[in-house]
Amino acid sequence: MAVAVQPSVNSRLAQRIGTIESSFISFAVGTLALFAIVLFCGRLGNLRGITGAHWWELTGGLLGAFFVTLTILVVPRIGTASAMAATITAQLIAGLLLDQFGYFGLRTISMDGRRAVGVTLLLVGAGLVFRR
CA diameter of the chain: 47
Same-domain status, 19 and 68: yes
Domains in the chain, number: 2
Read off the DSSP letter of residue 57: G
- Determine the distance from the C-alpha atom of residue 30 to the mean position of all C-alpha atoms in its chain, rounded to a whole number: 14
Same-domain status, 119 and 94: yes
SS3 label, residue 102: coil
Question: What is the value of pTM for the model shown?
Answer: 0.83
Q: Which of 40, 56, 78 is the last residue of a domain?
A: 78
Rounded (to 5) percent helix, strand, coil in the chain: 85, 0, 15
Alpha-carbon span 3 to 67, nearest angstrom: 11
Q: pLDDT per position in the chain (132 positions), as tens?
A: 888 899 999 999 999 999 999 999 999 999 999 999 988 887 777 888 899 999 999 999 999 999 999 999 999 999 999 999 999 999 999 999 999 999 998 899 999 999 999 999 999 999 999 866
Show the domain range for 46. Answer: 1-78
